[in-house]
Chain A
């Protein structure tokens, strides 16, 4: 590859990186709160409710994300589109990226849920009891006393998940989302050169360097107590 081709490829790749970033941030935006909700329901004392959540967690964590993507793309997406059309006469079509965001959200929410649960269960019962005696409502206790301590505790495992997510976005190419890896693969074949693949790798590395920096900073900021 010549220099101007490399430059051209890198510019093109940058625009595809936006798709990767979109998938990354949208997944976090939905999966972080959904995971918390899932964790809380999973810990419910109402047995059937808890068991349904366990089933969801088992499926999401026990099958390949790639398989889930295919399932949602070719099974769930058309079914929902048909349903919307038949029920409301609305002809909606979901984009490949939307389906990817949906699948990633459900999958990552399951992993996040287990991390949240571990964090919540690691907070000593005395914290809840002290809050209870002081008259805090359940909601206040959770959001003022428990959750801030949980966030601090789960930063390291969350950091790992965020970094895995950066790399997992590459899986979206299986349902035809054009992101960094799929473009690099195409260009590799076009130029018969692995250079595009190497440059794509550098993109992921840079993204993860930023993620890891952010987590290091957050851990430092919240490290004022032990």
Chain B
């Protein structure tokens, strides 16, 4: 079964159509990168998939849990009842461009808060697991620090640990390195690479072409709310077929 299935997703902001029929799916253990120019709707797509925005029409399902599907009569998307959506929220995690750590909590509490108060774990268990996750992202010694005391790269690694603590089936990244100084992007990419090796299912919106090429199983190129091209990362990035992809990538290599 597919971890995530999305069919013909449409979404407008007012009169501005941002997603104009996006369809794709992702299998267990797959790493999918989404590339595309600014304003092409990449973030909006991730926000729709993570229930931060509502789609106008289309179909979204996580395994056998349907998030939204079109009403036969109106052709507009109808969302499943709140308890189903809450179940679906447990299936995914999201890592934001600007981390969004909780500034008033220590690093450890940033990670344990949801496992304790959403998943209902005991504090002991949650803390033990959080320490293991911090160890994994190389920040065990920062457990009692506050987010403001960390570098951007460290904050993002905490954000990844925070998402992992809820044991998502799939992890979304929205330009996880864009807010970072260039010398700090490496540490994040390394963490994501390790997750890929552990067969974590991931969808990564990124402008790091070399990274997308090396780490992902598949690349989607989006432009103006549609998927223009998708396929093998080497193929799409080094030998794009569509003119739009070519134009985008050439602009990129010039920078």
Query: Which A residues are closer than 8 A to B by beta carbons?
Result: 124, 126-127, 129-136, 140, 144-145, 148-149, 152, 224-226
Question: How far in angstroms is the closest Cβ of chain A from B103?
Answer: 5
Interface of B is mostly: loop
- Point out the residues of chain A lying under 8 angstroms from B119, CB to CB: 135
Identify A152's interface contact among B98, B102, B104, CB under 8 A: B104
Question: How far in angstroms is the closest Cβ of chain B from A126?
Answer: 4
Name 6 extra pairs, CB < 8 A, besides A126-B98, A127-B100, A144-B113: A126-B96, A132-B51, A133-B92, A134-B118, A135-B89, A225-B104
Q: Is B205 part of the contact surface with A, judged by Cβ < 8 Å? A: no
Task: Please tell me if the beta carbons of A134 and B52 are within 8 angstroms of each other in the complex.
Answer: no
Q: List 16 A-B contacts (CB under 8 A).
A: A129-B52, A129-B100, A130-B96, A131-B102, A132-B52, A133-B52, A133-B94, A134-B113, A134-B114, A136-B117, A140-B117, A140-B118, A149-B104, A224-B146, A225-B147, A225-B148
Task: Please tell me if the beta carbons of B86 and A127 are within 8 angstroms of each other in the complex.
Answer: no
**Bound Cα distance from A134 to B101, whole angstroms:** 12
Shortest Cβ distance from A136 into B: residue: B118
- Point out the residues of chain A lying under 8 angstroms from B163, CB to CB: 134
- Point out the residues of chain A lying under 8 angstroms from B103, CB to CB: 149, 225-226
Question: How far in angstroms is the closest Cβ of chain A from B118?
Answer: 4
- Point out the residues of chain A lying under 8 angstroms from B101, CB to CB: 130
- Point out the residues of chain B lying under 8 angstroms from A130, CB to CB: 94, 96, 100-102
Q: Is B69 part of the contact surface with A, judged by Cβ < 8 Å? A: no
- Point out the residues of chain B lying under 8 angstroms from A135, CB to CB: 86, 89-90, 114, 118-119, 166
**Bound Cα distance from A133 to B162, whole angstroms:** 11
- Per-position 1/0 for B84-123, Cβ under 8 A of A: 0010011011101010111110000000011001110000
**Bound Cα distance from A149 to B101, whole angstroms:** 12
Interface of A is mostly: helix
Closest 6 CB pairs of A and B: A126-B100, A130-B100, A134-B114, A135-B118, A225-B146, A133-B94
- Point out the residues of chain A lying under 8 angstroms from B162, CB to CB: 134
Query: Which B residues are closer than 8 A to A by beta carbons?
Result: 50-52, 86, 89-90, 92-94, 96, 98, 100-104, 113-114, 117-119, 146-148, 162-163, 166
Question: How far in angstroms is the closest Cβ of chain B from A143?
Answer: 10
Task: Please tell me if the beta carbons of A133 and B147 are within 8 angstroms of each other in the complex.
Answer: no
- Point out the residues of chain B lying under 8 angstroms from A133, CB to CB: 50-52, 89, 92-94
Question: How far in angstroms is the closest Cβ of chain B from A121?
Answer: 17
Which of B86, B94, B98, B102: most chain A Cβ within 10 A?
B102
Shortest Cβ distance from A226 into B: residue: B148
**Bound Cα distance from A131 to B101, whole angstroms:** 9
Identify A127's interface contact among B89, B94, B102, CB under 8 A: B102
**Bound Cα distance from A127 to B100, whole angstroms:** 6
Shortest Cβ distance from A135 into B: residue: B118
- Point out the residues of chain B lying under 8 angstroms from A126, CB to CB: 96, 98, 100
Question: How far in angstroms is the closest Cβ of chain B from A139?
Answer: 11
- Point out the residues of chain A lying under 8 angstroms from B52, CB to CB: 129, 132-133
- Point out the residues of chain A lying under 8 angstroms from B100, CB to CB: 124, 126-127, 129-130
Identify A134's interface contact among B104, B146, B166, CB under 8 A: B166
**Bound Cα distance from A156 to B85, whole angstroms:** 40
- Point out the residues of chain B lying under 8 angstroms from A226, CB to CB: 103, 148
- Point out the residues of chain B lying under 8 angstroms from A131, CB to CB: 102
Which of B90, B103, B148: most chain A Cβ within 10 A?
B103
Which of A134, A145, A225: most chain B Cβ within 10 A?
A134
- Point out the residues of chain A lying under 8 angstroms from B96, CB to CB: 126, 129-130
- Point out the residues of chain B lying under 8 angstroms from A152, CB to CB: 104
Shortest Cβ distance from A129 into B: residue: B52
**Bound Cα distance from A67 to B48, whole angstroms:** 52
